[in-house]
Amino acid sequence: MPGSAARTFADPYEYQAFTCDAQHRVVVTKAGAYRAKTIRIDLQSVLLRRAWQALPTISHLAIPAGRSAICFSVDPRQTLGVWGGKEIEPGGVFVVHSGGEFFSQADGRASWASLSLSAEALAASVRALVGCDLKLPTVTQVARPPIAAMARLSALHKTAGDIAASTPEILARPEVAEALETELLRAAVGCLIDPASVKEPWTPRLKVMSRFDEFIHANGERPLYITDICKGIGVSERTLRLHCLEHLGVSPHRYLWLRRMHHVHRALTLAQATATTVTAIATDHGFWELGRFAVAYKKLFSESPSATLRRAAGDLPADLAGSALSDLDAGAALLSGD
């Protein structure tokens, strides 16, 4: 079940025990008052960690069989330290796979973030998003991802940590956990594999768009994400993106975002203001960055989500009271005939 926890520690033995997805031993190398903080976020298949320590340490970590982890500095401007005998510079990642173990050295300013999941889940995400099989290195590797991909992963990871620290109940909602996990996996795959280097078999674009349309309508108003669709219709994200840009004029990510926004708009127009909240409806549709959601909603619909919720359905113009999805769905219905 999705959830999160934030803890502070004055004892390294308690700190190391909090890392439940790996064997972790910590040795403090200088005198002083030990302080550490960890935020742990458990999504559906992805585990996130953000950690800070106030004294220099040497750690030994061992990853369980069948899991993979990506580690990087919480502060993208700082080095991660020495992991596996190698200095991990700012913007770099340390990747460890099934059964891998290593030592890390950190000074008193060190921080680290990690994303771990089963090797099978990682491989499935790579197949769905990139269209190839993931060739895992033997144990560990040091990588320097593209700047944009690393920035995206760092930003998403930070957002998850901020929510866990301020409003952890949001992360406990399955819809939010699924949405956040999907975006994190996309970012992680982008850090591990360059999609441009992968050669894919050619697929007739009309068939792809027909399957895309059928899949969307078969799932009703359920929030959908790129990984869901790529798995469901059997093409990579890159292929789907090229086809959508040609047929729809927008990326599949943007199209799905618009679909979810219109579902939220319709739910708000039909809801009773005393029976629900904007937060509940937004998070039910996978929006976890509520400030950003409110700004985007107002830009798209020319009013705040709270204003929509306050409006009585009977006072709406007939075209809005009927279905806020009509234009979007009508456009989608034309895909099979393009």
Please report, for residues 37, 72, 285, the alpha-carbon distance to residue 165 in angstroms, rounded to integers and kept in the order given: 11, 20, 22
Return the CATH number of the domain spanning residue range 3-176: 2.60.120.10
Q: How do the domains of the chain map onto residue ranges?
A: 3-176, 200-337
pTM: 0.78
SS3 of the chain: the string is CCEEEEEEECCHHHHHHCCCCCEEEEEECCCCCCCEEEEEEECCCCEEEEEEECCCEEEEEECCCCEEEEEECCCCCCCCEEECCEEECCCCEEEECCCCEEEEEECCCCEEEEEEEEHHHHHHHHHHHHCCCCCCCCCEEEECCCHHHHHHHHHHHHHHHHHHHHCHHHHCCHHHHHHHHHHHHHHHHHHHCCHHHCCCCCCCHHHHHHHHHHHHHHCCCCCCCHHHHHHHHCCCHHHHHHHHHHHCCCCHHHHHHHHHHHHHHHHHHHCCCCCCCHHHHHHHCCCCCHHHHHHHHHHHHCCCHHHHHHCCHHHCCHHHHHCCCHHHHHHHHCHHHC
Reply yes or no on whether the pLDDT at 282 is more than 90: yes
Inter-residue contact 45 to 181 (CB < 8 Å): yes
Return the CATH number of the domain spanning residue range 200-337: 1.10.10.60
3-176 and 200-337 share one CATH topology?
no
Q: What digits encode the pLDDT tens for the residues 125-162? A: 888 887 777 665 556 788 888 899 999 999 999 999 99
Q: What digits encode the pLDDT tens for the residues 312-335? A: 444 544 444 444 343 344 333 333
Q: What digits encode the pLDDT tens for the residues 74-127? A: 988 888 888 888 888 888 999 888 778 888 898 877 789 999 988 888 888 888
- Angle made by CA atoms 158, 162, 163, in degrees to the nearest 5: 120
**pLDDT for the residue numbered 98:** 78
Instruction: Assign 40 a pLDDT band (cuts: 50, 70, 90).
Output: very high
Residue pointed to by tokens 């298949």: 45
